[in-house]
C-alpha cells in the first residue's frame, strides 16, 4: 500500500473518531493538498511532493502530524 493511501485512511479514521463533517473535512484537505481523496487507492503511486502536501494539509485542517 502506498503512503498516500495510508494518509487517506488516517483522515477517514480521524473523521469517524471525531464525528466530523466528512465532506467538509475531506474537501478542505483536498483543496489544500491539490488532489481528490476519492482518487487515492491502495495502488496509487507515491510521489514525495504529493505526500508532503497531503501531510501539510492534514496538519492545517486536523492539526495532527501524520
31 part of the interface to another protein, by CB under 8 A:
yes
Q: Binding to another protein by residue 65, rule CB under 8 A?
A: no
Q: Rank residues 5 and 48 by Cβ distance to another protein and give the closer one.
A: 5
The distance of closest approach from Cβ of residue 47 to another protein in the complex, given in angstroms and rounded to an integer, is 19
Report the nearest approach of another protein to the CB of residue 15 (Å): 10
Q: How far is CA 40 from CA 8, 13, 26, 47, in A?
A: 7, 15, 12, 12
Q: What's the min distance (Å) between Cβ of 23 and another protein? A: 3
Q: Which residues of 9-35 are buried (b: 16+ CB within 10 A; e: fewer)?
A: ebbeebbeeeeeeeeebbeebbebbeb
Amino acid at each position: 500500500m502506498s503512503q498516500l493511501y495510508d494518509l487517506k485512511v488516517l483522515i477517514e479514521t480521524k473523521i469517524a473518531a471525531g464525528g466530523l463533517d466528512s465532506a467538509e473535512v475531506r474537501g478542505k484537505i483536498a483543496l489544500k493538498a491539490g488532489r481528490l481523496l476519492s482518487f487515492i487507492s491502495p495502488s496509487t503511486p507515491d510521489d514525495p511532493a504529493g505526500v508532503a502536501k497531503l501531510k501539510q494539509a492534514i496538519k492545517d485542517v486536523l492539526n495532527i502530524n501524520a
